[in-house]
Chain A
């Protein structure tokens, strides 16, 4: 059974049984489907930007503002009320972002390697659930339609496949905003998935655009990556040994004492000089005398 079949069977079974809980998909990138009464209300995957990443990377809100909203919402990971109240996004926009992120995560999970599926029963409370969940069958249909669409392109690209660079001779013509951003960030280190995170766009959208740009000669696969330069630290890498104990400070040459000087009581003469004149009993300034006065203690 292929990984996709395993995913489809597990997810559809969760839907049929009306599961409320999670379906964890092990693999690369893998992810989690959150279900409520058999409907998928959220999906998260390292292979696709979630609603938070989409908003933050789109520049609609910055990290500090986001942190303030999360604080305001008592630590909620998806501070939806604050986003609307402070005018960062409208309620409808946020609903669209959540649905897009859900479908995009399903696409990323389905496009990757699926090694196993494990379900957990019980509501965990996904960070950004959609109001009306998606039936698993329809979600998978949407994902496989997208996979087929990418595969049918003249120059198909896998989300975790090539790491393109701008083609050497690409004509400097008018570019869409997305294409401009992709060219700016395609540095030979980023896959379509990485570019999606970097630009705050859906991974399906970016994968399709990267495939088109390859086909149109705007992007190309770089040659072998530059070798990583390895420098050996002087003296090699050694297990750390405890630093030697610091040398004792140089002791000025002094006559060798046989033993340490010993303090003898009364040697300073301070007791004798104080007792006759400053005896506490005779002076009200003394603390002892003060307390005695207050407490009315007779001598």
Chain B
């Protein structure tokens, strides 16, 4: 797995969308893979919550014939927590403050999620040997 590419994707997303405060990646079973979170957040617990939340949402989508699950977003008075399925094997958590433009976040994550999925499942195109 290309750790550097994964890190760049996570940091890049935070730079790209105003209002993202934290991001984390976990396997679909809730085991944390990587976290770019503030000290006030417990990334392991967050990963487990996201896995449970997405699992419940996925079953809800299936039971109500809503098609393939895309994401769940929890809104609070101080911001939101978005859980995205990354392919079939992993998930990504994005926390945002109350200023975040959630539509812009969804647009920005669409491409990033695909690239992260390729990195995680090691299908990303090999870097040139002389690359950084």
Hey, which bits of chain A sit against chain B, CB under 8 A?
Answer: 28-30, 45-50, 52-53, 56-57, 62-63, 66-67, 160, 187, 189-190, 193-194, 197-198, 225, 227-233, 236-240
Contacts and interface: CB of A to CB of B under 8 A. Distances in A.
A231 B101 contact: no
SS class, residues of chain A in contact with chain B: loop
Interface residues of B, number: 38
SS class, residues of chain B in contact with chain A: loop
Contact of B32 (A49, A53, A67, A231): A231
Nearest to B6: A230
B89 A239 contact: yes
B90 interface: yes
Interface of B: 1, 3, 6-7, 10-11, 16-19, 21, 27-29, 31-36, 38-39, 76-78, 87-90, 97-101, 104, 120-122
A232 B100 contact: no
Nearest to B30: A233
5 contacts: A30-B104, A46-B19, A197-B19, A197-B99, A240-B88
A30 B10 CA distance: 22
Contacts of B31: 231, 233
A28 B33 CA distance: 29
B78 A63 contact: yes
Contacts of A227: 7
Given A46-B100, A57-B98, A187-B39, 18 more contacts: A28-B18, A29-B101, A30-B101, A46-B17, A46-B99, A50-B98, A50-B99, A53-B99, A56-B77, A63-B76, A190-B21, A197-B98, A197-B99, A225-B11, A228-B10, A237-B89, A237-B121, A240-B88
B33 A232 contact: yes
